[in-house]
Amino acid sequence: MKVNFKILLLAVLLVVIILVDQWTKHLVHTQFNWGESKSIISGFFDLTYVRNQGAAFGLFHQAPPAFRDPFFVAVPVIAIFVILFLIFKMVSDSLWSVIALSLILAGAIGNLIDRLRFGYVIDFLDFHWREIYHWPAFNVADSSIVVGVCLWFILSFKEPQAKSAKPKA
């Protein structure tokens, strides 16, 4: 894969995912009251305005703000630089590797924008089974990160072509 194609693919995925993420968060932020919930599929899926000051699933949300706030800005910034480094130094021609890393990068940027703007991340996709089993609310950026990480994980089991090609005797 040519470097130009990597950059184009990265740019397109970043723009589309970040725009969709920020647009959906804007709609929730301006159309819902904090904590408000609207049922979309009764007993299964709601749109619920949640302000997440922690990490995934609200981890560390009760940490002291003097630690939590700089930490949750620094970690995504470091991740952004690491992912960009990986994409630009990637020797493989794997379209899927570029997609996986671009998804992770877009999600990290989307949530970082919220942290810088509001001091928290807006979550709103709320899946549950009636009121018995409840998955923590999440957003488009979170979904992008999870899909990218899963794809990257699956790709890590793929044997490199150089190793799989057996020399002829």
Instruction: Tell me the catalytic residues.
Output: 123, 142
Alpha helices for the chain (secondary structure H)? 3-31, 65-89, 95-118, 140-156, 161-164
Q: Under a CB-based contact definition with an 8 Å cutoff, are residues 46 and 40 in contact?
A: yes
d(CA 144, CA 149) in angstroms, rounded, equals 9
Q: Under a CB-based contact definition with an 8 Å cutoff, are residues 72 and 58 in contact?
A: no
Q: Which residues contact 132 (CB under 8 A, 6 or more apart)?
A: none
